[in-house]
Chain A
Amino acid sequence: MKKIEAIIKPFKLEEVKDALADLGIEGMTVSEVKGFGRQKGHTEIYRGSEYTVDFLPKIKIEVVLSDALLESATAAIVKAAKTGKIGDGKVFVSPVEEAIRIRTDETGEQAV
């Protein structure tokens, strides 16, 4: 099992979700996060004083899936989330040791 963590632009969430659903992926966790990469922040102004917004709003999608689905899933996320402009985000993949479905006590790939 693998976990994909994808940090994407907020307005791309629908497209990424649909692309993953098309692959048969049945669940995901989404959070509103803030951060910066090479894009850095931007400057805003309020009543005559400038200030920098360092952390920009992003969406983090977390999906745990079987090894077999990994390649197509990451490809689908990258394709759906890409605008070609700076700030598109990143995808991280890491191994998952165990998964348990609380309702049924199922474990492993059965549970994801």
Chain B
Amino acid sequence: MLTRTHSLASLAAVALFALSGALPTALYAQDAPAAETTAVEAVEEVEEEEAPAFTTMEEFQALPLEYPKFMVDNLWILIAAALVFIMHLGFSCVETGLCRSKNTVNILFKNVFIVCMGALTYAAWGFNAMYPGDFNGWFAVGSPIANSFAEGDMVGNLTNQYADYTYWADFIFQAMFAATAATIVSGAVAERIKLGPFMIAATILVMFAYPISGSWKWGGGWLDAMGFYDFAGSSLVHAFGGYAALAAVIVLGPRLGKYLSGGKVKPILGHSMPLAAIGVFLLFLGWFGFNGGSVLSADPVLVSLVFTTTALAGFAGGLFAAFTSWIVLKKPDLSMALNGMLAGLVGITAGADSIMPWNAVIVGAIAGILVVLAVLFFDKLKIDDPVGAISVHGICGNWGTIAVGIFGVGEFSLVTQIIGTAAVSVFAFVFSLVTFVIIKAIFGLRVSEEEEIGGLDVGEHGQEAYPDFTPVSEV
């Protein structure tokens, strides 16, 4: 998810790579000439935009080449937006599967709330706070999105004078991203947080905090100015969510019975590994839109490269997490392999357009190893994260952003990448910590022990997820 001008920057990055010949392997040779031409075309486009060949919608629609290209580009952004929406179903399934059946209704309810609230607050405030145009680089005041365009504004917002897509496509694609950050928190605090206070905290995070750090890069703020790069949000979406989750879990505390005296960890089993697997596969599918759409056009070369790097990193992550768990834990752990696929995807998200396929495999593989070690590490610290969200999104989000400084083809600085991902992580952590501490002081954050044992489905909602599955002996 770049600012508009950045798709050109990444095209230039690929072209630069092609011209430099710094890595003249047979592997890359096929990509190079195509990327070169695309970059040249892109430059010509910029020149056209300076002197528009049309002044009305009708004139634009009559253009023989530009209009069909615009339709294809715009359609791809819309398809990508729909794919990102499906990721919310993926998150719902992963969280539900990795938690106990007695908290299913509560988890799904939170997911429904977050996606609805996230998109609406993004329309009311977030979109314009994240993409304010000219601003001080640190913080912009939000405002509702446009409701309609006057005759004179249509060309500027609904043709390629705006971007390779319309204003509406821009909004809905970004809006689908927005709720993701709070969904990540939802998984980490599952099975013990009070519903109402969570809803307040999630709203504050999505509506106010997410657009602030987002604007630092994608809105053209101070991180963007210093050359920081985050293609589709390893830091801005995932590390943000991961570190917000870390702060929330620290304030909230672990689930009852997870950490026993003497340092022993008592695992609390998820109730449906099939659901968790369905969720991860859905997230993988959605990631093609998350990263592929972040090209912000249907550019054949870049979208194809991004699909390839995204998928390879996800697969490498799954494989390496599986083998890491097999070696370290003596058994191949399915939940770790699933976390590993997500870890690889999070890892490649910052550099999906600028890291070449075999390096993407390395990025994904390291993410897969990291995620297993991180899950074990956080358990040692008694930071109870039922779904591994902090490890997957926080740690691997950091790694992916840093990886751009190591493997990225183009002008990337390792130091800037580290500063950028640290800034976003620290901001998310502190903002979330303050939010949850205040909410805890006012409303309380945890359900009662009795309710935690009985389950939040009955406690918070008075409902059961699986009423017909009650064993006869318990009736």
Q: Which residues of A contact B (CB under 8 A)?
A: 31, 45-51
Contacts and interface: CB of A to CB of B under 8 A. Distances in A.
11 contacts: A45-B331, A46-B269, A46-B335, A47-B333, A47-B335, A48-B265, A48-B328, A48-B333, A48-B336, A48-B376, A49-B265
B266 A49 contact: yes
A78 B270 CA distance: 37
B329 A48 contact: yes
B115 interface: no
- Top 5 nearest A-B pairs (CB, nearest first) are A46-B267, A49-B267, A49-B265, A48-B376, A45-B331
Contact of A48 (B269, B270, B375, B473): B375
**From A45, A47, A49, residue with most partner B Cβ within 10 Å:** A47
B100 to A, nearest CB: 12
B379 interface: yes
Contacts of A48: 265, 267, 325, 328-329, 333, 336, 372, 375-376, 379
Interface in B449-475: 473
Contact of B336 (A31, A47, A50, A51): A47
B375 A47 contact: yes
Contacts of A47: 267, 333, 335-336, 375, 379, 388
B384 to A, nearest CB: 11
A59 B259 CA distance: 33
Contacts of A50: 267
Contacts of A51: 266-267
Interface in B31-50: none
Interface string B315-336: 0000000000100111101011
A45 B266 contact: no
A80 B269 CA distance: 35
Interface in B246-269: 265-267, 269
Contacts of B335: 46-47
Contacts of B333: 45-48
Nearest to B372: A48
Contacts of B266: 49, 51
A28 B392 CA distance: 52
A59 B140 CA distance: 66
For chain B, which range describes its interface: under 10, 10 to 19, 20 to 34, or 35 or more residues? 10 to 19
Contacts of B325: 48
Nearest to A45: B331
Interface in B331-350: 331, 333, 335-336
A17 B266 CA distance: 39
B409 to A, nearest CB: 36
Nearest to B329: A48
B324 to A, nearest CB: 11
Interface string B334-371: 01100000000000000000000000000000000000
A46 B375 CA distance: 12
A51 B267 CA distance: 7
Nearest to B269: A46
A46 B387 CA distance: 12
Interface in B261-320: 265-267, 269-270
Contacts of B270: 46
Nearest to A51: B267
Nearest to B268: A46
A98 B372 CA distance: 61
Contacts of A46: 267, 269-270, 333, 335
A49 to B, nearest CB: 4
**From A46, A50, A51, residue with most partner B Cβ within 10 Å:** A46
Nearest to B336: A47
B70 to A, nearest CB: 48
A49 B267 CA distance: 6
B160 to A, nearest CB: 49
A34 B360 CA distance: 48
Contacts of A31: 473
Interface string B370-382: 0010011001000
A28 B267 CA distance: 38
Contacts of B330: 45
A50 B269 CA distance: 11
Contact of A45 (B329, B379, B388, B473): B329
A34 to B, nearest CB: 11
A45 B269 CA distance: 10
Nearest to B330: A45
Contacts of B379: 47-49
A107 B458 CA distance: 45
A48 B377 CA distance: 10
A31 to B, nearest CB: 8
A38 to B, nearest CB: 25
A48 B388 CA distance: 12
A45 B328 CA distance: 12
Contacts of B265: 48-49
Given A48-B333, A49-B265, A49-B267, 7 more contacts: A45-B330, A47-B267, A48-B267, A48-B329, A48-B372, A48-B379, A49-B266
A51 to B, nearest CB: 5
